Amino acid sequence: MSSPASNKPAAASAGRAWLRLTREERAQLKRRMGPALFQERLLREDTRELKMGGLFRWCPMRWLNPIARAGLHLTGLWKAGRRNYLDIRVREETFFLPGLPAAFDGFTILHLSDLHFDLDPDFPDALAQTLETIRGRYDVAAFTGDFNNYTVHNSTLAVRLTARLLREHISAPAYGVLGNHDSLRDIPSLEEAGLRILLNESVTLRRGRDTLLLAGIDDPNIFQTHNLRAALSARKPGQPVVLLAHAPSCWREAADQSVDLVLCGHVHGGQICLPNGRTIPWRNWKFPAAVRRGRWCEGTTQGYTTYGAGACGIPIRFFCPPEAVLIHLRQGGKAAFSAGRLPSGGGRQSAA
């Protein structure tokens, strides 16, 4: 299996003092992403940070967080919500893919999303403990974005914590995409740590003569700087494709391009749900309820929208436990499914 990310440095980058791109890094990322989308993403990042953080670039969540915590303490919900947040489960899902080569039958992907690493100091250890229970049980690790919690980037903490996780607790080659909380400025440090970021790109995984295309697109929901055609440009006829995307906004486009499996996140399963599982729909969810969490399918394309491992804004969860997901690929399955119906091969969840 080829893997540009497999050779992790013995001491991955400890993180830069400030997230800035050198001239060489800008040129390289521009070539990889394409000049227009690269400039668009940088412009939207800067515009958002200035709009949200003002001249001092101070993320509003940094002062909203303690206010929300105080309210939860008063209602008595804080301890239970935070306990749920730190109780990261291992979930296992099996997907049957028509055309999957025999060498990849049983191939397993560790799917992690929405870590929001800089939200709570106890989260990194909680996630590490969960990952140690499944060490060696997966062939590649796939991260579908939102390493950061704060959308105004005046700290490298999340990137440094991600680097430590990769170095100490990820036991396979690692690939990923950026989320709407992340920045292009994160990429050099993440890749120095061993995480290959796919910017509307793909890598070919090999087992003998058999191949599997792992593609990744930039955020299709908030920044909308994705290019699925570019990500699939290296696809060979009949070659199965697993697509990484931060949000399920690309569900219909992926089906139009006959992607076999989409792995995504962003929604956190709702993070704060009612006992019956109902969620509060946010206005930036540019996708239907059928693809917001768990398994879904559209035409011949199957997908999994993870509940995510972390939380956003405030470290609590109710009625949607955080998860690290083992995605098992198997040969077989029907060539088409009705929209919204689940193919065979359900999942199971257990405490880590």
293 domain-assigned: yes
Greater confidence (30 vs 61) lies with 30
pLDDT at 350 over 70: no
Count of domains observed in the chain: 1
What is the domain-level CATH number for residue 275?
A: 3.60.21.10
Range with the lowest mean pLDDT among 33-42, 110-119, 222-231, 278-287?
A: 278-287
82 domain-assigned: yes
- Write the pLDDT tens digit of every residue in 211-259: 999 999 999 999 999 999 999 999 999 999 999 999 999 999 999 999 9
CA distances (Å), 54 to each of 51, 152, 181, in order?
A: 6, 10, 17
Q: Are 220 and 179 in contact (CB under 8 A)?
A: no
169 domain-assigned: yes
Confidence of residue 117 (pLDDT cuts 50, 70, 90): very high
- Write the pLDDT tens digit of every residue in 300-348: 999 999 999 999 989 999 999 999 999 999 998 764 343 343 443 445 5
- The token duo for 344 is 């065979």
83 domain-assigned: yes
185 domain-assigned: yes
Q: In this predicted structure, what is the pLDDT of residue 74?
A: 82
Q: Are 184 and 2 in contact (CB under 8 A)?
A: no
**Mean pLDDT (whole number) for 1-20:** 45
**Mean pLDDT (whole number) for 61-90:** 84
Q: In this predicted structure, what is the pLDDT of residue 339?
A: 35
- Write the pLDDT tens digit of every residue in 188-204: 999 999 999 999 999 99
Q: In this predicted structure, what is the pLDDT of residue 40?
A: 95
Alpha-carbon distance of 236 to 233, in angstroms, equals: 9
290 domain-assigned: yes
The residues near 71 (Cβ < 8 Å, ≥ 6 apart) are none
Mean pLDDT (the chain) is 87
- The token duo for 13 is 């980058």
Q: In this predicted structure, what is the pLDDT of residue 134?
A: 98
Alpha-carbon distance of 42 to 65, in angstroms, equals: 27
196 domain-assigned: yes
DSSP notation for 53-108: HTTTT--THHHHHHHHHHHHHHHT-HHHHHHHHH-PEEEEEEEEETT--GGGTT-E
- Write the pLDDT tens digit of every residue in 16-37: 445 689 999 999 999 999 999 9
CA distances (Å), 125 to each of 12, 87, 122, 128, 320, in order?
A: 19, 11, 6, 5, 20
Count Cβ atoms below 10 Å from residue 258 Cβ, excluding itself. Answer: 13
- Domain membership of residue 240 as a residue range: 61-350
252 domain-assigned: yes
